[in-house]
């Protein structure tokens, strides 16, 4: 899919976890399509670099540091972003990750809970704070970056699986709530992607170590699907899961 250069001209987006990996790739793609973009993450240096790169594309890049698991910080981040960009049309809930791969009973309960806080509560906090602004823009789009592991059980990564399964259910619930207000809410499943967070378990150019059908992608490989979701019309699909996986989910 090729996105028209001005497909998002005049719109504004927030991308969480936008300092690297999939978030950075999506943030830059939104900017190339004409959107002003706020990138947010905990590491200010990374998001400032991405915002500066966005500025070179002829649109506005804004960096606002925030921890998505902190509700008060998220609310302040969204207000700051909208204050600087003037509106909000697209929210990409990308921040997340898995911090442990240990069976229940052998795991650290605090680490398990932290994964839930980042992946599920972070998505909820950001979506909740963004909703008034998305509605004010006349309808907007929420793209929740999910995982195939939220659709399939695994024996040793329950915190990640459970959190992403909950994000999928939250996506469906919000879509039913918001469809008549012009806000679409969908899930994007990238499949295996090589990033700093996955470098210890996979590499590009070879099959996935546990799923032979899968190809290990670069973050930029996720962009076409993300842009399809970001540029769809107001009456486009909602409550759906769009996947790049090469296995049944």
pLDDT at 216: 87
CATH number corresponding to 12-243: 3.40.50.720
Secondary structure class of 127 (helix, strand, coil): helix
Contact 9, 30 (CB under 8 A): no
H/E stretch holding 228? helix 223-231
Q: Which residues are known to be catalytic?
A: 160
Is 0.75 topped by the overall pTM? yes
**Nearest Cα to 227, choosing from 27, 20, 17, 14?**
27
Give me the average pLDDT of each 10-residue run along the chain (249 residues): 81 98 97 98 97 98 98 98 98 92 92 96 98 95 96 91 98 97 96 70 62 82 97 95 89
pLDDT at 227: 98
H/E stretch holding 189? strand 184-189
């Amino acid at each position: 899919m090729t996105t028209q250069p001005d497909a998002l001209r005049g719109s504004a987006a927030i991308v969480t976890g936008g300092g690297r990996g999939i978030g950075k790739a999506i943030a830059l793609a939104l900017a190339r399509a004409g959107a002003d973009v706020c990138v947010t993450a905990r590491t200010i240096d990374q998001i400032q670099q991405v915002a500066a790169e966005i500025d070179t594309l002829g649109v506005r890049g804004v960096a606002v540091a925030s921890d998505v698991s902190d509700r008060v910080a998220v609310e302040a981040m969204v207000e700051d972003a909208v204050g600087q960009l003037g509106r909000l049309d697209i929210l990409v809930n990308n921040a997340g990750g898995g911090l442990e791969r240990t069976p229940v009973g052998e795991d650290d309960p605090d680490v398990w809970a932290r994964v839930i806080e980042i992946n599920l509560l972070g998505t909820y906090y950001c979506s909740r704070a963004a909703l008034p602004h998305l509605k004010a823009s006349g309808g907007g789009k929420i793209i929740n970056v999910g995982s195939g592991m939220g659709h399939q059980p695994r024996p040793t990564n329950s915190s990640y699986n459970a959190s992403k399964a909950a994000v999928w259910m939250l996506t469906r619930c919000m879509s039913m709530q918001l469809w008549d207000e012009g806000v679409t809410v969908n899930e994007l499943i990238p499949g295996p992607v090589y990033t700093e967070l996955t470098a210890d378990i996979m590499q590009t150019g070879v099959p996935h170590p546990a799923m032979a059908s899968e190809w290990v992608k670069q973050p930029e490989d996720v962009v076409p699907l993300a842009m399809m979701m970001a540029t769809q019309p107001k009456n486009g699909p909602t409550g759906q899961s769009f996947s790049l996986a090469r296995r049944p989910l």
